[in-house]
């Protein structure tokens, strides 16, 4: 009897709990800046979000969330009215979502590519921070300065120990308080807090369904596409799908374009 | 035994709810396929204030496929600054 009950509970859990989920206790919106092209001094900027839970944090593009929502509504409206689709202003966005598993010291990157979701598993790389006595007030929080080297850049970070978490934007973490600001030595990469919200009522959900891979293989695949490889995903391979009368599966429309970045955020491994 | 039967009933209910949702989704998808078997005009603006207009058509696509096709075209028409490279299309 007990065995049957246990089996039923396990079966129930397997069917209905497929994603790891945690309630967010803090939500931060950052303005991210990156000088991607040093020749013309092009400074890319994007609104990014960070959800912090007790043991997981999730860093994602807030701009992408907003644009995707507008786009979805525009298509749904066009479907109902049968009219034109106005997508509004389309700006470049970061597509990857970074999940830091603070207790397990792991970094999971969920990267959508060619209509597939790739789950890239990494060990969390510890940053050797040197904490200084310098302080400053950011958005009402007393912050302390720390300096650390990561991926070929030296970052100056400001963290708030009043917000007790080791989390921070992107791959920056490991300080005894939430990182609210971080700037690299040459002012080419900057994360500046815009808003902080406690108990935002959101959940962090780690995706479990996707193609599991590692960073090396993933980069190899994207490079192959940009070097003349073509999309092979089933949606875009449909010969019925036409843009301006030309099949999207033809080489001109199918070729994968990757923006040129001559000053990557990660300068070394 | 009573507890066990309640548990299985709950499981069955969840399974039924799931199946109903899947069936609805499938019906919705069929509707989309029928409704979208025509040409639609898409308009988008870039970071430089330029306007991009194109037509997308498909006789056997879902709404998701049309949106993905348009996304792919826009992405491949945009440079690293977020400006459309209109002369190439």
Tens digits of residue pLDDT in A202-253: 999 999 999 999 999 998 888 877 765 555 566 677 788 888 888 876 655 4
Assess whether pLDDT exceeds 90 at residue B88: no
> Using CA atoms, how far apart are residues A154 and A242, in angstroms rounded to an integer?
48
Largest Cα–Cα distance of chain B, in whole Å? 73
Nearest to A160 by CA among A135, A185, A183: A135
Helices A62-81 and B63-76 cross at an angle (nearest 10°) of: 130
Q: What share of chain A is helix, strand, coil (3-state, %, to 5)?
A: 20, 45, 40
Lowest mean pLDDT among A44-58, A78-92, B46-60, B75-89: B75-89
User: Any CB–CB contact under 8 A between B2 and chain A?
Assistant: no
Lowest mean pLDDT among A166-180, A241-255, B22-36: B22-36
Nearest to A97 by CA among A53, A50, A55, A52: A50
> Using CA atoms, how far apart are residues A62 and A80, in angstroms rounded to an integer?
28
| Unique residue bearing structure tokens 């990494």 | A122
Average pLDDT over residues A126-138: 97
Beta bridge partners of A182: A157, A191
Under an 8 A CB cutoff, do B42 and A12 touch? no
ipTM for the predicted complex: 0.74
Query: In this structure, what token pair is assigned to residue A1?
Result: 């009897």
pTM over 0.90: no
CB A114 within 8 A of CB A254: no
Nearest to A175 by CA among A127, A226, A120: A127
Average pLDDT over residues A108-116: 90
Q: Which residues of A touch B37 (CB under 8 A)?
A: none
- Please report how many Cα atoms fall inside a 13 Å half-sphere around the Cα of residue B57, on the Cβ side: 9
> Using CA atoms, how far apart are residues A86 and A74, in angstroms rounded to an integer?
6
Under an 8 A CB cutoff, do B73 and A235 touch? no
User: Any CB–CB contact under 8 A between B54 and chain A?
Assistant: yes
User: Any CB–CB contact under 8 A between B83 and chain A?
Assistant: no
Predicted confidence band at A5 (pLDDT cuts at 50, 70, 90)? Answer: low
> Using CA atoms, how far apart are residues A62 and A50, in angstroms rounded to an integer?
9
Lowest mean pLDDT among A1-5, A236-240, B11-15: B11-15
Lowest mean pLDDT among A98-112, A157-171, B56-70: B56-70
Percent of chain A surpassing pLDDT 70: 84
A41 versus A60: the higher-pLDDT residue is: A60
Query: Of B3, B32, B75, which has the smallest distance from its Cβ to A79's Cβ?
Result: B32
Average pLDDT over residues B40-53: 93
Residues 6+ apart with CB under 8 A from A192: A30, A31, A33, A181
Measure in Å the smallest separation between the Cα of A225 and chain B Cα atoms: 13
Q: Average model confidence (pLDDT) for chain A? A: 87
């Amino acid at each position: 009897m007990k065995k049957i009950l246990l089996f039923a509970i396990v079966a129930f859990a397997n069917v209905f709990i497929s994603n790891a989920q945690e309630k967010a206790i803090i939500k931060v919106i950052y303005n991210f800046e990156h000088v991607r092209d040093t020749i013309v001094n092009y400074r890319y900027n994007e609104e990014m979000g960070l959800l912090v839970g007790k043991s997981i944090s999730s860093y994602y593009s807030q701009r992408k969330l907003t644009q995707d929502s507008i786009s979805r509504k525009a298509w749904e409206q066009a479907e109902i009215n049968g009219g034109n689709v106005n997508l509004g202003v389309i700006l470049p966005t970061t597509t990857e979502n970074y999940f830091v598993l603070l207790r397990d010291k792991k970094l999971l990157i969920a990267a959508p590519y060619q209509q597939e979701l790739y789950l890239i598993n990494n060990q969390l790389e510890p940053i050797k921070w040197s904490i200084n006595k310098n302080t400053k007030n950011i958005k009402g929080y007393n912050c302390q300065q720390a300096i650390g080297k990561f991926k070929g850049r030296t970052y100056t970070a400001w963290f708030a120990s009043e917000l007790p978490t080791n989390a921070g934007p992107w791959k920056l973490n490991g300080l005894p308080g939430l990182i609210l600001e971080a700037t690299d030595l040459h002012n080419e990469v900057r994360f500046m807090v815009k808003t902080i919200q406690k108990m935002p009522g959101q959940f962090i959900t780690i995706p479990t369904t996707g193609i599991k891979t590692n960073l090396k293989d993933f980069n190899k695949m994207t490079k192959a596409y940009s070097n003349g490889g073509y999309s092979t995903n089933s949606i875009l391979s449909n010969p019925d799908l036409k843009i301006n009368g030309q099949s999207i599966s033809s080489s001109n429309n199918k070729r994968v374009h990757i923006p040129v970045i001559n000053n990557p955020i990660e300068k070394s491994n | 035994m009573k507890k066990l039967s309640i548990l299985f009933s709950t499981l069955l209910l969840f399974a039924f709810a799931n199946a109903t949702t899947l069936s609805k989704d499938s019906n919705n998808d069929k509707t989309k396929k029928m409704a979208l078997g025509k040409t639609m005009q898409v308009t988008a603006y870039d970071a430089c204030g330029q306007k991009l207009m194109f037509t997308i058509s498909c006789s056997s696509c879902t709404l998701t496929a049309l949106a993905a096709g348009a996304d792919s075209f826009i992405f491949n028409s945009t440079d690293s600054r977020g400006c459309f490279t209109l002369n190439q299309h």
